[in-house]
Amino acid sequence: MRLIFGVLAILSALIFFLPEPEGFPILEYHQVTDAPPEPGFEVYNVPPAEFAAQLDYLQAQGYTTITLQDFMRAVHGKATLPEKPIVLTFDDGYEDNFSVMFPLLKARGMTAVVYVITNELGKKNYLKLDELKAMQNYGLEIGSHTADHLPLTTLDKEMQLRQIRESKIFLEWSGLKTIYSLSYPNGAFDSELEKILREENYLTAVTGEAGLNNLSTNPYELYRVHIRKPRFGLTEFKFRLWKAKFFAKFRSLVN
């Protein structure tokens, strides 16, 4: 026991004194609402007032929101990233992303990436196609969270392909601009999925692993830090940003 604590203490000290890691955070949100969550999903609902405070904090800290298409343009040398980029992502495609989150972003001139489960679109509490189009026309990026939200690593090849391909084709055939990004349901991914994503013309995919991203990060295994419903307001939000940095440092140590 003592040994374990000793090793942990040394490791923490090492990580603390490592140089600042290069890279930007990608934040993972779900719903922005005061509505009571469904049982089992308590941590997923960030209240609008808390969310607005987080956006104001990011702006005060000098962050500029970008999309993952902006990121890929920079990877290919066709654009430069702002000094302090950050990506806000929203999983599952809840209706409040349009009615609550989108106006808060617009008021601040910020952008985001919204990942939708295509077979849930238009159902109760979920986004509708014209809402997706409105957000995309404004400059938000719309991505796929697959057709049915099944963890891809539990499926056979044919089913994986269908989930990845059909969600993209559905959105594009419904009049949206090209879909380039995917969010792995439940954060479940492996290196085989990258091949399918490349073949299906996706450029990026986000995981649920904490860390920071830079131009040399594998674009199919982008790191994200989960923003849960905060119990301690902005302090907890700052802790989440710090967590992304901590994991980035930790990875630089073990790689």
Separation CA 51–CA 74 (nearest Å)? 28
| Contact between residue 90 and residue 111 where contact means Cβ atoms under 8 Å apart | no
- C-alpha 121/C-alpha 127 separation (Å) is 6
The number of residues that bind Zn ion (CB under 5 A) is 2
Looking at the Cβ atoms of 140 and 248, the one nearer to Zn ion is: 140
The least distance separating Zn ion from the CB of residue 186, rounded to whole angstroms, comes to 7
- Which is nearest to 65 in space by CA: 94, 88, 32? 88
Note whether 28 binds Zn ion by CB under 5 A.
no
When the beta carbons of 63 and 223 are compared against Zn ion, the nearer one is 223
**Could you identify the residue written with the tokens 């509708």?**
128
Distances (CA, A) of 79 to 70, 72, 73, 136, 140: 8, 9, 5, 20, 18
Closer residue to Zn ion in complex, CB, 50/91: 91
Contact segment (CB under 5 A) with Zn ion among 15-23, 55-63, 70-78, 85-93 equals 85-93
Question: Residue 144: which H helix or E strand, with range?
Answer: strand 141-144
Closest distance to Zn ion from the beta carbon of 167 (Å)? 13
Output the smallest distance, CB 82 to Zn ion, in A: 28
- The helix/strand/coil state of 87 is strand
Q: How far is the CB of 144 from Zn ion (least distance, A)?
A: 11
Of the candidate residues 28, 50, 70, 91, the single one contacting Zn ion (CB under 5 A): 91
129 or 150, CB closer to Zn ion?
A: 150
Instruction: Pick the stretch among 64-72, 92-100, 198-206, 207-215 that binds Zn ion (CB under 5 A).
Output: 92-100
Residues of this chain that interact with Zn ion (CB under 5 A) are 91-92
